[in-house]
Amino acid sequence: MSQDEDDAEVHADHGPGLFPVPPIGEQERMIEAILFASAEPVSTAELSRRLPEGCDVAEALVHLRNRYAGRGVHLVRVGDGWAMRTAPDLGWLMRTEQVETRRLSRAAIETLA
């Protein structure tokens, strides 16, 4: 085996960078952490910049979206970015009832007395 073949074999699992490309499951975890911590949607380009070189953001997003299907939180496209959002059928759980205190008019107080 030549030196070039040895080098090609050594770097086969490393992608374009010096370190191995993380497995797709680890890429999903990284994207999940970024999206969970972000208040705003994160673009695919921004995800690519944050992940190690050689990661397949599009594939990891597909896997992550499938993983969250049927759960209480979904991965959704918002404009040109991605975000974690409450499942549409559970939105009612996020609404809160507020009691509004109103002052009674003088006439209303007299009527009640």
C-alpha to C-alpha distances, 90 to 9, 71, 74, 95, 98, nearest whole angstrom: 50, 10, 11, 10, 19
Chain centroid to Cα 74, Å, comes to: 8
- Domain count within the chain: 1
**12 in any annotated domain:** yes
78: domain range?
3-87
Average pLDDT over residues 82-99: 85
**79 in any annotated domain:** yes
**103 in any annotated domain:** no
pLDDT tens digits, residue range 31-54? 999 999 999 999 999 999 999 999
CATH of the domain at 51: 1.10.10.10
* pTM of the predicted model as reported, rounded to 2 decimal places: 0.67
Q: What is the pLDDT of residue 9?
A: 44
Average pLDDT over residues 18-25: 90
98 confidence band (pLDDT: 50, 70, 90): low
Q: What is the pLDDT of residue 97?
A: 67
